[in-house]
Chain A
Amino acid sequence: MSVLELSQVSRFYDGAAALDSVSLRAQDAGVLALLGPSGSGKSTLLRLIAGLEPLDAGEIRLGGEIVSSATRLLAPEQRRIGMVFQDHALFPHMSAGGNVAFGLNRLGRAARDAAARAWLDRVGLSARIDAYPHELSGGEAQRVALARTLATQPRIVLLDEPFSGLDQVLRAELREFTLTTLAETGTKAVFVTHDSSEALTVADLLAILKNGRLLQAAVPREAYDRPASAAAAAALGPVNTFAGRIEGGALATPFGAISAPGLAEGASASAVVRAEAITLRPGELAKLRSLRPHGPHDLAIIEAAGTVWQALIPPRSALGDRVDVTLQASGAFVFSD
């Protein structure tokens, strides 16, 4: 029995589908990551799982029990779930300790205070137990929010872009800390993000959403190596595209042919090539329009037969004005239109 099961979940706003027949099964995955741009429906899906909004069709099961359907809605406070918000949502009129204790009101006062202290200790903030939210740094507030959520021992934790307000260094640090804490406490989690590298890093199971539809659900390696569609491929990093026809079992692009097993001869199709799957060396095929540093890679803009692609290549490559191009099979795909 899986912790979380969505079947045919749909949600409409003013007639438009915010979520369109999304089915997902979290299996035994520790962290399910929902990846998508804003407006993709990922946050709506999280709110549906939490019971903060009703769904219009389909059903959601938690631990086998139907908690949301078109006719039934279990109140969020009765779902035994936890939620960590982008803005932390710490209660401004309560200390850090008070915030963590809030969800433990079924315990006696002494037990509640002890539990709150223990959880703050666990996230390394026992010294800040009396601090109020406005006195906490962004990272501290996030850790208090995490402690507050985990203290209630939810069967699943929903994290809504929990690190998006933080700077890069703190973000990586907190992400690691959160994943470790979740693993140590054996807590399952659903993690919403619009950052593809973050999604690939945290996910045991990765679900890619766009315009309210589920494009693909797979383990990260598979989602990256075997995207289900051009859109699913594009969701995990910069890609180049080229439209053409299948000839001789392959699609010929100006930068090289990509084999397309299983596609009908003469069918129109699209090539999708990850920017990091392009290798360049001095040569003749394409014009190198520009070459600039781009983080750990260099970004090369290449042009052939009027088509412009971008490639992420090792830094400080010595290239002339013209280059030859190799498309690595692991990052080059053909999809029929």
Chain B
Amino acid sequence: MRPDLALTESGRQAHAPLAPFALLAAALCAAPALAVVLFSLGQSEEAFAAGALLRDGALGTLALVVVGGGGALLLGAIAAWLVSFCSFPGRAAFEWLLVLPLAAPSYVLAYSYASLTWAGGPLPVPIEGFWGAAFVYAIGLYPYVFLAMRAGFAARHTSAFEAARSLGVSTSQLFWRVGLPLARPALVAGGALAAMEIAADYGAAHHFGLTTLSTAIFRAWYSHGAPVSALRIAAVLLLLALAFLLAERRARGRARFDAARWRTLSLLELSPSARAAAFGFCALLLLLGAVLPLAWLARLALLHTNVENLAAPLLNTILLAGVGALATLSISLLIAAAARRDNRARFALFVAGVGYAAPGAVIAFGALMVFGAARNAGLVGGLGAGLALMALLWTYVARFTAAGVQPIEAGLAQAPANLDAAAATLGANPWRRLAEIDLPIATPSLAAAALILFVEIVKELPATLILRPLNFDTLAVKAHAYASDERLLEAAAPALLIFAAGLAPLLILSRGISRAVR
């Protein structure tokens, strides 16, 4: 057979030389999570019985998901309703300002609030323990619900709202009879994302001294020296996270967030007192979720920063996040380009999504087990600094590839559908098409993806904590170490830098969304 005559199956598309590479890359992403499940099934000869820890951890995580996630749901839904439908001062600004709390990982908010409410701090309300964590989750994660609901309200159903109003549905009934039913998938999708974050969080739960699945993994591994027990807890956490991911995917499938079709609805006029209440609500969310913790960290950092102690972690963070983002980006591009050509490669997207749902601690321990097995087989030596960094980069790739694929796919999707076919019929082979068509078109979204990935890695705590080489501190690790020692004043500077890094992609993304709405 001539080399240019390829055997094909009856798949929808014929030429997909990228698909095998994409599947391989996706397998790389899912491997640590699979390793956790595999090793957790092994025989345990540990004296430590994980039963009680697992039960307490599961109850703790579920309680936080219900209370913290429920709070995020309520706050996000109200904010989305106000901003989407009501006319009040500052509405247009709140449209994008209200996503700012996403810039801070939960542990940064936790450290800030802990020092705010300390004895002698400016806030007399104690924010601590279970309710403290639930508050931090609600105020930090409501933007997931806000974003999803706003898209749900505005995306495709504009005409449904207009039809309802023309049929005489009163403005007060509009929310209950039309808005909520139409936005319910979005509510579920946003809530599932918030739940995923809460389940995966290690730093805040640890700081508030709570037993959750995430903190239980660490305790079983380090305090009790029981790796199999730790992996069993990790496997339960993984299943929980996958359940949330599945809920999110299903809900989103029914309510696509299609920014290109956003259209601002005609707004409802409010009474003066209602306008004041709407403004007050949104302003309070912004204040508690971003302005107050950010300002407080900045004030502490100005007073207590020791620049010498910060230089090395900052450099390490930039290096690690830079290399990690580039590695993740190339895998993301490969998968996105393959999935665009070939429906079979879309399976790679799904597989990579498993890594995305898995909490950092789960993936890190999974990677650790794989390296341990390789060492036992004599394939590698001990987990020295070089190998540990490789394992860490692997966990970043596994964890964030799916996050990188999303913006790249969106960028590619903006190009006319037939570009690839047009280039093919003009005689360009698949690799020339990738280099001269896909890559240039995806360039702006590649930049956005790189920034998102960089910041995600800067914010990542548990995996970095587990796999970093000895004495290799990042900003996140440093903030966590200070906070664990009750040295919250010194934790402020690294926490502030993480917060600031998180703002950059948010500002760019939300500007893009606001433009799409107009």
Contacts and interface: CB of A to CB of B under 8 A. Distances in A.
Contacts of B428: 77, 102-103, 105
A142 to B, nearest CB: 13
A75 interface: yes
Contacts of B440: 93
22 contacts: A51-B424, A54-B10, A72-B1, A72-B7, A73-B15, A74-B5, A75-B4, A75-B14, A77-B427, A77-B428, A82-B426, A83-B425, A87-B416, A89-B418, A91-B423, A91-B437, A92-B415, A102-B423, A103-B426, A103-B427, A148-B426, A158-B425
B11 interface: yes
Interface in A32-72: 47, 50-54, 56, 71-72
Contacts of A148: 426
Given A53-B13, A54-B11, A78 B425 contact: no
A90 to B, nearest CB: 8
B416 A88 contact: yes
Given A75-B429, A92-B415, A93-B441, 13 more contacts: A52-B421, A53-B13, A53-B14, A56-B10, A73-B7, A77-B429, A78-B4, A81-B425, A85-B416, A85-B418, A86-B418, A88-B416, A103-B427
Interface of A is mostly: loop
Given A53-B13, A89-B419, A76 B425 contact: yes
B12 interface: yes
Main secondary structure of the interface of B (DSSP, over half): loop
Contacts of A88: 416
B417 interface: yes
A76 B441 contact: no
B422 A89 contact: yes
B159 interface: no
Contacts of A77: 424-429
B167 interface: no
B14 A102 contact: no
Contacts of A279: none
A140 B479 CA distance: 59
Interface of A: 12-13, 47, 50-54, 56, 71-83, 85-93, 102-103, 105-106, 148-149, 152, 154, 158
B436 to A, nearest CB: 8
Nearest to A56: B10
Contacts of A71: 7
Given A75-B15, A77-B429, A89 B424 contact: no
Contacts of B436: 102
B426 A152 contact: yes
Interface in B1-60: 1, 4-15
Among A51, A79, A89, A152, the one with the most B-chain Cβ atoms within 10 Å of its Cβ is: A89
Contacts of B4: 74-75, 78
B243 to A, nearest CB: 29
Nearest to B419: A89
A170 to B, nearest CB: 20
Interface in B406-454: 415-419, 421-429, 436-437, 440-441
Contact of B6 (A75, A87, A92, A103): A75
Contacts of B9: 54
Contact of B421 (A78, A89, A152): A89
Nearest to B5: A72
A129 to B, nearest CB: 18
Contact of A50 (B6, B417, B421, B437): B421
B8 A54 contact: yes
Nearest to A12: B10
In this complex, which of A79, A82, A102, A106 has the most chain B Cβ atoms within 10 angstroms of its Cβ? Answer: A102
Contacts of B419: 89, 91
A85 B422 contact: yes
Nearest to A55: B10
Nearest to A86: B418
B421 A85 contact: yes
Nearest to A148: B426
B432 to A, nearest CB: 8
A84 to B, nearest CB: 9
Nearest to B429: A77
Contacts of B14: 51-54, 73, 75
A148 to B, nearest CB: 7
Contacts of B416: 85, 87-90, 92
Contacts of A52: 13-14, 421, 424-425
A105 B422 CA distance: 15
B5, B14, B417 — which one has the most chain A CB atoms within 10 A of its CB? B14
A263 to B, nearest CB: 42
A233 to B, nearest CB: 33
A96 to B, nearest CB: 14
B32 to A, nearest CB: 35
A66 to B, nearest CB: 9
Nearest to B9: A54
A222 B9 CA distance: 40
A83 B423 contact: no
**8 A-B pairs with the lowest CB-CB distances in the bound complex, closest first:** A103-B426, A89-B418, A89-B422, A76-B424, A83-B425, A85-B418, A54-B8, A93-B440
Most chain B beta carbons < 10 A, residue from A54, A73, A88, A90: A54
A82 B8 contact: no
A241 to B, nearest CB: 37
B283 to A, nearest CB: 40
Contacts of B426: 77, 82, 102-103, 148-149, 152
Contacts of B415: 92
Q: Most chain-A Cβ atoms within 10 A of its Cβ — which of B6, B421, B441?
A: B421
